[in-house]
Amino acid sequence: MTIRTDGQWDAWMMTAQGAPLEQRLLAPRAPDAGEATVEVAGCGVCHTDISFLHHGVKTRGALPLVLGHEISGVVREVGAGVDASLVGRAVIVPAVLPCGECDLCRAGRRAICRVQVMPGNDRHGGFASHVVVPARFLCPVPDAALATHDLWELSVVSDAVATPFEAVKRSELVAGELALFVGIGGIGVYGVQVAAAIGAKVIALDVDDRKLELARAAGAGAVLNVRDIPAKDVRKQVRALAEGLGAPPHLWKIFEMSGTRAGQETAYSLLGFGGSLAVVGYTMDRIEVCLSNLMAYDATVRGNWGADPLIYPELLQWIGEGRLTVKPYVDRAPLSRINEVFDDAHHGRLFKRMVMVP
């Protein structure tokens, strides 16, 4: 981690849709009450960041804005009301920081708190040397996780790992059931790991053989390249693969991770009796579906906006115990190369989650 000798903070800001990110030097600001200043160790590049810059998705905060919501780092300063023992601690900054007090938070739906703060969307995010965030849900990183991973690698826990982790847990997947992952990229490979660790039968679907090999290494029992395969044939081939794995023919748990129209259409087409679909990837494209299938199959579809910050300690415990690993699926680049990395991500040239390191 780098601290400028002139005391200013380095930041790379989005100034307009489609325009290259611009480097700016920001004057440091002290954290307000309830906030903490985090020196950034790493910030992962997410599909959401690319959507802000290239796909017309609007940030809630005004431009110019520092993007980036997958943040790990070290707490350097805290505001009034924050436990001073946090200073000097390595932490994960949850991608969604709820208020903890509203009716949704009290109902356990913290991820959709209506006054939530999402770094890189509501306010400046992690593509910078420092970030100031609400401190309430910062998650200290246990020594066991740091024994096997560098702190910058763990930045992706904030979203790419935590979101599929929560999606799988919310699905109530159990050992022996079938878990189908549509899209093996920035988040899908972690969902595969989680489902395999639970003891489920796992099938991964993608259009790229290299990503499918990642899925095999992560624990998928079978993979299927669905490029140029008609939807009705995809269902037949998945059913055959499931039978080969000894998985039950019903109660499939489907996880749409691609964030593409084709992926969502494929995932919905796989719904059957008692099945459930978790929509985790995001696209602005619309698809046409027959909602009556939900009635006919007694099936369930639910969305998954980020993750409840209360799951992060359990997730980091899994990493510390070796049940889940991040290291093989991430790579890093200096923050100065951010425009090059964004371009590669936009054009699908990346096969690992890139982490920008100040």
Q: Please list the alpha-helical segments (H only) found in 261-347.
A: 261-269, 292-297, 312-321, 338-346
Note whether 131 and 245 are same-domain residues: no
The answer as to whether 145 is a domain residue is yes
The answer as to whether 349 is a domain residue is yes
| Cβ–Cβ under 8 Å, residues 143 and 166 | no
CA-wise closest residue to 47 among 131, 163, 195: 163
Query: How high is the mean pLDDT of the chain?
Result: 95
Over residues 39-49, mean pLDDT: 96
Tell me: pLDDT of 231 over 90: no
Token pair belonging to 172: 């109530």
Distance separating alpha carbons of residues 315 and 141, to the nearest angstrom: 10
Choose the final residue of a domain: 278, 303, 328: 303
Note whether 171 and 292 are same-domain residues: yes
Q: What does the pLDDT look like over 292-334, one tens digit per residue? A: 999 999 999 999 888 999 999 999 999 999 999 999 999 999 9
Choose the final residue of a domain: 264, 282, 303: 303
Distance separating alpha carbons of residues 345 and 80, to the nearest angstrom: 39
The answer as to whether 2 is a domain residue is no
CA-wise closest residue to 170 among 85, 112, 237: 112
| Cβ–Cβ under 8 Å, residues 104 and 110 | yes
Reported as half-sphere exposure (CB side, CA atoms, 13 A), residue 58 has a value of 3
| Phi, psi torsion values for 274, nearest 5 degrees | 70, 15
Q: What does the pLDDT look like over 196-224, one tens digit per residue? A: 999 999 999 999 999 999 999 999 999 99
* Sequential DSSP letters for 134-195: E-TT-EEPPHHHHTTS-TTGGGGGGTTTHHHHHHHHHTT--TTSEEEEE--STTHHHHHHHH
Say what the pLDDT of residue 232 is.
Answer: 85
Q: What does the pLDDT look like over 67-114, one tens digit per residue? A: 999 999 999 999 999 999 999 999 999 999 999 999 999 999 999 999
Note whether 129 and 146 are same-domain residues: yes
Return all residues near 347 (Cβ < 8 A) that are at least 6 apart.
none
Does the CA dihedral 21-98-194-252 come out positive or negative? Answer: negative
Tell me: pLDDT of 52 over 60: yes
Note whether 43 and 78 are same-domain residues: yes
Reported as half-sphere exposure (CB side, CA atoms, 13 A), residue 293 has a value of 16
Distance separating alpha carbons of residues 222 and 52, to the nearest angstrom: 34
* DSSP3 helix / strand / coil % (the chain, rounded to 5): 30, 25, 45
* CATH number (domain holding residue 62): 3.90.180.10
Domain that holds residue 349: 9-159+307-357
Tell me: pLDDT of 49 over 50: yes
Tell me: pLDDT of 268 over 90: yes
Say what the pLDDT of residue 1 is.
Answer: 39
Say what the pLDDT of residue 141 is.
Answer: 98
Reported as half-sphere exposure (CB side, CA atoms, 13 A), residue 24 has a value of 19
| Cβ–Cβ under 8 Å, residues 40 and 131 | yes
The answer as to whether 25 is a domain residue is yes
Note whether 151 and 179 are same-domain residues: no
Tell me: pLDDT of 3 over 60: no
Over residues 227-236, mean pLDDT: 92
Inter-axis angle of helices 209-218 and 188-198, nearest 10: 30
* CATH number (domain holding residue 243): 3.40.50.720
Note whether 35 and 84 are same-domain residues: yes
Q: What does the pLDDT look like over 151-188, one tens digit per residue? A: 999 999 999 999 999 999 999 999 999 999 999 988 99
Over residues 330-344, mean pLDDT: 97
Note whether 128 and 239 are same-domain residues: no
Token pair belonging to 12: 């790379």
| Cβ–Cβ under 8 Å, residues 66 and 120 | yes
Based on the structure, what is the number of domains in the chain? 2
The answer as to whether 4 is a domain residue is no
Query: Is beta strand 178-182 parallel, antiparallel or unpaired with respect to 35-44?
Result: unpaired
What's the pLDDT band for 348 if we cut at 50, 70, 90?
Answer: confident
Note whether 196 and 223 are same-domain residues: yes
Residue with tokens 């949850």: 94
Distance separating alpha carbons of residues 306 and 197, to the nearest angstrom: 21
Note whether 131 and 24 are same-domain residues: yes
Say what the pLDDT of residue 2 is.
Answer: 44
Note whether 35 and 136 are same-domain residues: yes
The answer as to whether 3 is a domain residue is no
Note whether 87 and 198 are same-domain residues: no
Note whether 258 and 320 are same-domain residues: no
Say what the pLDDT of residue 6 is.
Answer: 67
Helix (H), strand (E) at residue 130: strand 130-134
Radius of gyration of the CA atoms of the chain, in A: 20
The answer as to whether 215 is a domain residue is yes
Overall size of the chain counted in residues: 358
Tell me: pLDDT of 260 over 60: yes
Q: What does the pLDDT look like over 4-27, one tens digit per residue? A: 446 899 999 999 999 999 999 999
Choose the final residue of a domain: 288, 303, 318: 303
The answer as to whether 147 is a domain residue is yes
- Amino acid, res. 38: V
